[in-house]
């Protein structure tokens, strides 16, 4: 089964392997449904959608935007309360802070989001649910048409999990989730 999962991941990333949709480790209908619940939690907290709160953009790096806003929160999704990290990705290359501040909607390219699900979801990767939304809240897709939601690229050499697994808590920017966990206890 692990071999099939790796093949599905490789196919999803465009690495040449072929697998059926039922073997996919991410981008399933269940992942898409859960991603919609996460999006609604983001809208409810004004982290996305009309009337969203704004932060001060800072310089980012690929594969995220070249300017970013990052928000740390907790959210309840389908009865589970977990850490929610929302990163707004702005571009294109060469965009400056003043341009993003002046017209953020014009420069918003995507939202990249991590939500820490319940224990047992993906213990190997600290139970993070990964999702990339387009500015309108629809799911982004990779070049092969795989929806970017769920255990994105688990077992692959590239992608969300591969990149973030190099950090102890999978978060490069802050220890905010650790502080939030302490507050929730």
Q: Could you tell me if 81 and 184 are in contact, meaning their C-beta atoms sit under 8 angstroms apart?
A: yes
Cα angle value 85/87/88 (rounded, 5°): 150
Query: Whole-angstrom distance between the N-terminal and C-terminal Cα of the chain?
Result: 37
Is 116 within a domain?
A: yes
What's the number of domains the chain is made of?
1
10 Å CB burial of residue 172 (0-12, 13-18, 19+) is exposed
Indicate whether 153 pLDDT > 80. no
Q: Is 31 helix (H, G, I), strand (E, B) or coil?
A: helix
Is 4 within a domain?
A: no
At residue 12 the predicted structure's pLDDT band, cuts being 50, 70 and 90, is very low
> In Å, what is the CA distance from 23 to each residue of 1, 104, 132?
9, 38, 21
Long-range interactions of 120-124: CB distance < 8 A, separation 24+? 122/151, 122/154, 124/154
Is 30 within a domain?
A: yes
Is 10 within a domain?
A: no
Q: What is the mean pLDDT of the chain?
A: 79
Is 20 within a domain?
A: no
Q: Where do we find the tokens 């341009």? A: 99
- Pairing mode of beta strands 108-116, 80-90: antiparallel
Cα(142)–Cα(25) distance, integer angstroms: 14
Is 6 within a domain?
A: no
- C-alpha closest to that of 12 among 143, 140, 131, 122: 143
Is 5 within a domain?
A: no
Q: Could you tell me if 154 and 161 are in contact, meaning their C-beta atoms sit under 8 angstroms apart?
A: yes
Is 105 within a domain?
A: yes
Q: By mean pLDDT, which of 15-19, 86-90, 130-134 is the weakest? A: 15-19
Q: By mean pLDDT, which of 49-63, 68-82, 119-133, 156-170 is the weakest? A: 156-170
At residue 81 the predicted structure's pLDDT band, cuts being 50, 70 and 90, is very high
Each residue of 111-142: pLDDT tens digit?
999 999 999 998 888 888 989 999 999 999 98
Nearest-Å Rg of the Cα atoms of the chain is: 16
List the domain range (segments joined by +) for residue 119: 26-184
Per-residue pLDDT, 7: 33
């Amino acid at each position: 089964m692990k071999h099939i999962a790796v093949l599905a991941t490789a196919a999803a990333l465009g690495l040449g392997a072929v697998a059926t949709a039922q073997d996919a480790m991410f981008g399933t209908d269940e992942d898409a449904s859960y991603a919609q619940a996460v999006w609604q939690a983001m809208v409810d907290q004004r982290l996305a959608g009309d009337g969203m709160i704004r932060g001060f953009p800072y310089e980012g790096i690929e594969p995220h935007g070249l300017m970013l806003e990052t928000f740390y929160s907790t959210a309840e999704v389908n009865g589970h309360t977990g850490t929610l990290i929302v990163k707004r990705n702005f571009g294109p290359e060469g965009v400056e802070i003043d341009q993003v501040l002046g017209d953020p909607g014009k420069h918003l390219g995507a939202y990249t989001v991590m939500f820490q699900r319940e224990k047992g979801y993906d213990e190997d990767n600290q139970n993070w649910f990964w999702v990339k939304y387009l500015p309108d809240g629809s799911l982004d897709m990779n070049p092969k048409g795989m929806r970017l939601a769920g255990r994105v690229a688990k077992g692959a050499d590239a992608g969300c999990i591969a990149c973030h697994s190099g950090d102890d808590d999978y978060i490069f920017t802050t220890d905010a989730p650790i502080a939030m966990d302490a507050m929730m206890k």
